[in-house]
Chains A and B, each alone.
Chain A
Amino acid sequence: VGRDDATTSTSSTELSDYANPKEYEITGLTVTGTRYLDPNSLVSLSGLKVGDKIRIPGEAVGSSIRKLMDSGLLDNVELFATNVNGDKIALSFRVQERPRLYRVNFLGVKKGEQDQLKDKVKLNLGKIITNTVTKNTQMAVRKFFVDKGFLNTKVKITTVPDSTRNNATMRVLVDKGQKVKIRKITFDGRSEVEEAKVRMKMKGTKEMRFGRLFTPSKFVPKKYEEDKQKLIEFYNKLGYRDATIEEDTVINNGGKTIDIVLRINEGRKYYYRNIDFSGNYLYTDARLREVLGVNKGDVYDPEDLEKKMNGNPGQDLSSLYMDDGYLYYNAQPVEKAIEGDSIDLEIRIFEGKQATINRIVLNGNTKTSDHVVMRSIRTLPGQKFSKTNLIRTQRELATLGYFDPEKIGINPVPQNDGTVDIEYSVEEKPSDQIELSGGWGGYVGFVGTLGLTFNNFSARNIPNFSAWRPLPAGDGQRVSLRFQASGKQYQVYSLSFTEPWLGGRKPNALSVGVNHTVYRSYSFTDLYSRSTRGAVPIGSYSNTSFSIGLARQLKVPDDYFSLSHSLSYQRYDLNNLDIFYIGYRNGISNNITFNTTLSRNSIDNPQFPRSGSSFSLSGSFTPPWSAFRSVETSTPEDKYKLVEYHKWMFDASWFQTVFGKLVLNARAHMGFLGSYNKRTQIGPFERFVLGGSGLAGQGQFALAQDIIGLRGYDDRSVYTADYDRATDATSRAQGGVAYNKFVAELRYPVSLNPSATIFVLGFLEAGNNWGSYKQFNPFDLKRSAGFGARIFMPAFGLIGIDYGYGFDRIPGIKDRPSGQFHFTIGQQFR
């Protein structure tokens, strides 16, 4: 292709005398044939310089051409001698430039496919069009369609040069042809296993059938190969250790359909006969056999065996050793004898020495203090090495929320003296959250929210300005500030602080919170009349609360348990406003409660849990004021001066990976409210309100209530009591005294990137809310189903959207089933 030093021209005889290379001094270097490239820069690329002495023919000539070709800018390079005078020579490169890609046109392709193709093919505009580029593009485009079942796709590429610039348009002409469907798959030689089951294993290769919607029949060579592999694995799992596909034929029926014939040699089914162990000095064969859980006569299944040996931390065979310091443990199953349908298995064990942990090394904590991380690490110096503890530590570090859970590194480094150092490496991720929204609206003034949550705060470093980055951080404390307003009408101020290890000795978490809410009611005429300077409130309501709590991690029954106690005081101040519909407009209610919560949480990852469960049982109690006063005679003002109730909440949530990345989340929630005194009704405070997104929402002063979501129904709407026939106004207005809710949710992660964790979900939900215990019936539930998506971004927290369809009627509100969208902000616990 003209790569060789074509030292032609007049003086060819002199120059190409290979037997007598001669040394020349270069007197001139020129470049011809350039159209858009700079000749000078090409000369410098060639590595030759005027004044250089080179041998012709010789290495220098070849290498200069090679260097120019390697730049990828040129299609062809030739070197000429333009003038030879004794030992002086003038050289000239004749080059041919390559066109650059200016545009790609796909022809014969749908618009949507074009966009996908552009992603797939990765043609950067401005790239130089070489043969390789063309060829690769052609192959990639063809593969794209073949993978979609268009087996007969033809792709032709032409480059159309642009006359003005050194550009070219690439035309990709695609002839997809017909989609190739599979008319028939025949399994020859199959007798032991049901045909339907074998067919099912071919997940990506299906026969055509009317009404097959989700896995349409198409032939994708890659999937077909995978399916054949899966088929064999399936046989192996059933004990057919020797199963093979002896022959597979793909028959083309004239382009539109194909037939597949698979000839399977099933072989025989094998069973375990003897399972022996060798190399085991610590445990008897009987003990090992018991842990392994494989018995004589069981079907021979290597995959299952592998799982029982290594796949289940804490319960498999390896854990027996690896959790007791035997770091070097290694076991190999060996088929010792095969007789008839029986296999004798010998598991060769290397026990090695027991390793004790000496050092724990932590790297990568550029923001979070050592002690915050170290106290979560479950491997301690002096303990025997334990695999289970390593895995537990990984979970604990992920749960802290300061590090990227996908990047927690664990590296045991064995030392010569029988000890092992364990190195943990972490990568900090942003853990603070900001919520900011706002506007200036008409008569109300400022409307909006300002919320700040610092999850890794350091109160100790507040006076130490040099440690501010940009705030004092790293001690694992949590500070949350929030201000929300709808102008003068409604404002919320709140502040909370949590120290997870009070005193630094034990994981006793102290939390303190203060909250103040004001609601003012305006007469609408005042609001809209421009003449009145500032609207005059007709009534107001405020709620001030303070709470302090202490939570303790327990060790019994296991260390996922924790117990917490809190004391809170709330003061409701009504000023000419009957917000509770309880018969008084002016007065103060005081609510003092003591709460105890027992909970267990073993969820593996807070952002996208795949396994583990959490449950919590809590009871809240006010003092039994009614024991000290007469209930019958008191007015509402007196009665609710001191609020009285007891309340019980139960929540359970369970995560399980179903298949691949698909995770099932099953939840149950319930709550009950009661009174101490049979003669008093259950009061209006702290009742349950069910329905919708479960957000308290702006302007909904749901302060003395517990708001629980139920997708597919209107916000705060779910209520069994017939609205019109509700016996007392109190319960009608304020919500239920008992609620149940059950959820089954399937989740699929779209992105697990910590800067934006995204997952989609489908759900089935059922719940109800009862106004009295007489009506309570846990089988009478309002059902709904739907789907949605969640996105978690460290700076904003969790944001979600769901579409829910409610199947049941809500008296007074909903006449027939209907669907609706719900938006959520923040983690919904119930």
Chain B
Amino acid sequence: CSPFSKLQKNGTDDEKYKGAVQYYKKGDWYRAGILFEELIPVLKGSTESEMAQFYYAYTQYHQQQYLLSATLFKKFYETFARSDYAQESMYMYALSLYKDTPSFNLDQSNTLTATAALQDFINAYPGSQYRDDCTKMILDLRRKLERKAYEKAVLYYKTSGFNIASYKSSVIAINNFQREFPDSEYNEELAYLKFDAQYSLAKNSLETKQKERYQEAIGYYQAFVDKYPSSKFLKQAEKMYETSQKEIERLDKLEKEKQQPKPDPNRPAKVTAANE
């Protein structure tokens, strides 16, 4: 029989508590966790109850049971709102949630919850020593959302070979990205990609829609060049820009040729429509 199981089986509550604290201090989270879990219902109403719950939450945190530790820390600062450890507990709640956030390519509901918890902490304790950490974490979570939105836009661009309509989706997704994350590092690449997507869309369009789409692409190019005059994508972009201009010229010429021959007396409406 190991001393641990002896303690677990035969120890008095007091011995168990002391033992648990010792295990905790040694960093034996597993054993400390088991003892605290057993003690918490027994200690209800006693003086040790507060610390037991606080330590128990930590044992779970250290065992990477972040979802559980988040719940425990939350319960702690709600129950012992006037405790000395309330602040730390609230921070640990937010931190646990932060640690539990999934990779960017999965459902981000937890990321949003964690961001809110971190923000709540900053609001509750503006002068806290953990404030900077929280700010950093919020930024980090935001970067996750940013990456998600970026990948989505790129995915539309990437899969456009399967469905040409995805070029347009890519442009729209990039527009949304630019609005939501104006300071993102991805913006340079996306500005280029937006032009590329619009250019590719124009290139693969029916002749009737090409001119308008090339013109729009040129608009995106200009916005890109103005903002990133020394971009590494500039060289590729320039080529497409030139082609776009040439294409517009060609389409203009084609339009004129179509107009010039006999104006069909029977269907004048059509011709005017083409003029517009």
Contacting residues, chain A, for B162 (C-beta < 8 A): 375, 505-507, 553
Could you tell me which residues of chain B, from 141 to 165, have a CB within 8 Å of some CB in chain A? 148, 151-152, 155-156, 158-159, 161-163, 165
The residue on A at minimum CB distance from B157 is A505
A505-B162 Cα distance, complex, nearest whole Å: 7
Interface: A295 (CB within 8 A):
no
Interface: A606 (CB within 8 A):
no
Interface: A545 (CB within 8 A):
no
Indicate which residue in B105, B151, B158, B168 contacts A381 across the interface (CB closer than 8 Å). B168
Asked whether, in the complex, the Cβ of B107 is within 8 Å of the Cβ of A363, the reply is yes
Q: B107-120 CB contact bits vs A (8 Å, 1 = yes)? A: 10100000000000
Indicate which residue in A358, A364, A366, A370 contacts B152 across the interface (CB closer than 8 Å). A370
Interface: A732 (CB within 8 A):
no
Asked whether, in the complex, the Cβ of A374 is within 8 Å of the Cβ of B166, the reply is no
Interface: A495 (CB within 8 A):
no
Which candidate, B24-32, B34-42, B169-177, B255-263, is the interface stretch facing chain A?
Answer: B169-177
Q: Given A370-B106, A371-B105, A381-B156, are A505 and B161 also a contact pair (CB < 8 Å)?
A: yes
A325 to chain B, nearest CB (A): 14
Could you tell me which residues of chain A, from 332 to 364, have a CB within 8 Å of some CB in chain B? 358-360, 362-364
B218 to chain A, nearest CB (A): 19
Q: A501-532 CB contact bits vs B (8 Å, 1 = yes)? A: 00011110000000000000000000000000
Contacting residues, chain B, for A504 (C-beta < 8 A): 158-159
Asked whether, in the complex, the Cβ of B169 is within 8 Å of the Cβ of A359, the reply is no
Indicate which residue in B106, B155, B165, B171 contacts A375 across the interface (CB closer than 8 Å). B155
The residue on B at minimum CB distance from A383 is B165
Q: B95-138 CB contact bits vs A (8 Å, 1 = yes)? A: 00000001101110100000000000000000000000000000
Q: A772-811 CB contact bits vs B (8 Å, 1 = yes)? A: 0000000000000000000000000000000000000000
A375-B151 Cα distance, complex, nearest whole Å: 12
Interface: A538 (CB within 8 A):
no
Contacting residues, chain A, for B163 (C-beta < 8 A): 380
Asked whether, in the complex, the Cβ of A365 is within 8 Å of the Cβ of B166, the reply is no
Asked whether, in the complex, the Cβ of B151 is within 8 Å of the Cβ of A371, the reply is yes
A358-B152 Cα distance, complex, nearest whole Å: 13
A507-B166 Cα distance, complex, nearest whole Å: 14
Asked whether, in the complex, the Cβ of B107 is within 8 Å of the Cβ of A505, the reply is no
Contacting residues, chain A, for B103 (C-beta < 8 A): 467
Q: Given A382-B172, A507-B162, are A367 and B152 also a contact pair (CB < 8 Å)?
A: no
How would you classify the secondary structure of chain A's contact residues: helix, strand, loop or mixed?
A: loop
A375-B166 Cα distance, complex, nearest whole Å: 10
The residue on A at minimum CB distance from B108 is A363
Asked whether, in the complex, the Cβ of A370 is within 8 Å of the Cβ of B168, the reply is no
Contacting residues, chain A, for B173 (C-beta < 8 A): 359, 381
Contacting residues, chain A, for B102 (C-beta < 8 A): 366
A139-B267 Cα distance, complex, nearest whole Å: 80
The residue on B at minimum CB distance from A464 is B103
Contacting residues, chain B, for A367 (C-beta < 8 A): 106
B253 to chain A, nearest CB (A): 29
Asked whether, in the complex, the Cβ of A380 is within 8 Å of the Cβ of B151, the reply is no
Asked whether, in the complex, the Cβ of A382 is within 8 Å of the Cβ of B171, the reply is yes
A540-B172 Cα distance, complex, nearest whole Å: 64
Contacting residues, chain A, for B168 (C-beta < 8 A): 380-383
B107 to chain A, nearest CB (A): 5
A381 to chain B, nearest CB (A): 4
Interface: A684 (CB within 8 A):
no
Asked whether, in the complex, the Cβ of A369 is within 8 Å of the Cβ of B156, the reply is no
A552 to chain B, nearest CB (A): 10
Contacting residues, chain B, for A500 (C-beta < 8 A): none
A371-B147 Cα distance, complex, nearest whole Å: 13
Contacting residues, chain A, for B105 (C-beta < 8 A): 369-371, 474
A402 to chain B, nearest CB (A): 12
Contacting residues, chain B, for A360 (C-beta < 8 A): 152
B156 to chain A, nearest CB (A): 7
A501-B75 Cα distance, complex, nearest whole Å: 46
The residue on A at minimum CB distance from B171 is A382
A382-B165 Cα distance, complex, nearest whole Å: 8
B175 to chain A, nearest CB (A): 9
A182 to chain B, nearest CB (A): 57
The residue on B at minimum CB distance from A380 is B169
A370-B103 Cα distance, complex, nearest whole Å: 10
Indicate which residue in A359, A365, A374, A553 contacts B106 across the interface (CB closer than 8 Å). A365
Asked whether, in the complex, the Cβ of B176 is within 8 Å of the Cβ of A359, the reply is yes
Contacting residues, chain B, for A553 (C-beta < 8 A): 162
A506-B163 Cα distance, complex, nearest whole Å: 9
Q: Given A381-B168, A467-B103, are A370 and B151 also a contact pair (CB < 8 Å)?
A: yes
Q: Given A358-B172, A358-B176, A371-B151, are A380 and B106 also a contact pair (CB < 8 Å)?
A: no
A467-B158 Cα distance, complex, nearest whole Å: 24
Q: B44-64 CB contact bits vs A (8 Å, 1 = yes)? A: 000000000000000000000
A382-B160 Cα distance, complex, nearest whole Å: 13
Indicate which residue in B107, B161, B176 contacts A506 across the interface (CB closer than 8 Å). B161
Asked whether, in the complex, the Cβ of A366 is within 8 Å of the Cβ of B107, the reply is yes
Asked whether, in the complex, the Cβ of A371 is within 8 Å of the Cβ of B106, the reply is no
Indicate which residue in B106, B151, B158, B172 contacts A366 across the interface (CB closer than 8 Å). B106
B196 to chain A, nearest CB (A): 15
Contacting residues, chain B, for A366 (C-beta < 8 A): 102, 106-107
Which of A368, A383, A467, A507: most chain B Cβ within 10 A? A383
A380-B172 Cα distance, complex, nearest whole Å: 10
Asked whether, in the complex, the Cβ of B158 is within 8 Å of the Cβ of A370, the reply is no
Which of A370, A381, A474: most chain B Cβ within 10 A? A381
Asked whether, in the complex, the Cβ of A381 is within 8 Å of the Cβ of B172, the reply is yes
Q: A622-638 CB contact bits vs B (8 Å, 1 = yes)? A: 00000000000000000
A501 to chain B, nearest CB (A): 8
A504-B109 Cα distance, complex, nearest whole Å: 26
The residue on B at minimum CB distance from A369 is B105
Contacting residues, chain B, for A474 (C-beta < 8 A): 105-106
Contacting residues, chain B, for A369 (C-beta < 8 A): 105-106
A358-B168 Cα distance, complex, nearest whole Å: 11
Q: A28-48 CB contact bits vs B (8 Å, 1 = yes)? A: 000000000000000000000
The residue on A at minimum CB distance from B149 is A359
Contacting residues, chain A, for B148 (C-beta < 8 A): 370
Q: A364-405 CB contact bits vs B (8 Å, 1 = yes)? A: 111111110011000011110000000000000000000000
Asked whether, in the complex, the Cβ of B165 is within 8 Å of the Cβ of A380, the reply is yes
The residue on B at minimum CB distance from A378 is B163
The residue on A at minimum CB distance from B103 is A467
Contacting residues, chain A, for B172 (C-beta < 8 A): 358, 381-382
A466 to chain B, nearest CB (A): 9
A467-B102 Cα distance, complex, nearest whole Å: 9
Q: A169-183 CB contact bits vs B (8 Å, 1 = yes)? A: 000000000000000
A467-B161 Cα distance, complex, nearest whole Å: 30
Contacting residues, chain A, for B151 (C-beta < 8 A): 370-371
Contacting residues, chain B, for A364 (C-beta < 8 A): 107
A383-B152 Cα distance, complex, nearest whole Å: 16
A462 to chain B, nearest CB (A): 15
Contacting residues, chain B, for A382 (C-beta < 8 A): 165, 168-169, 171-172
A578 to chain B, nearest CB (A): 51
A467-B103 Cα distance, complex, nearest whole Å: 9
A208 to chain B, nearest CB (A): 59
B109 to chain A, nearest CB (A): 7
Closest 3 CB pairs of A and B: A382-B168, A381-B172, A381-B169
- A-B residue pairs in contact (CB < 8 Å), sample of 27: A358-B176, A359-B173, A362-B107, A368-B106, A370-B106, A370-B148, A370-B151, A370-B152, A371-B105, A371-B151, A371-B155, A374-B152, A374-B155, A375-B159, A380-B165, A381-B168, A381-B169, A383-B165, A383-B169, A467-B103, A504-B158, A504-B159, A505-B161, A505-B162, A506-B159, A507-B162, A553-B162
Binding site for B on A (CB under 8 A): 358-360, 362-371, 374-375, 380-383, 467, 474, 504-507, 553
5 further A-B contacts with Cβ under 8 Å, apart from A359-B176, A381-B156, are: A366-B102, A374-B152, A380-B156, A380-B166, A382-B172
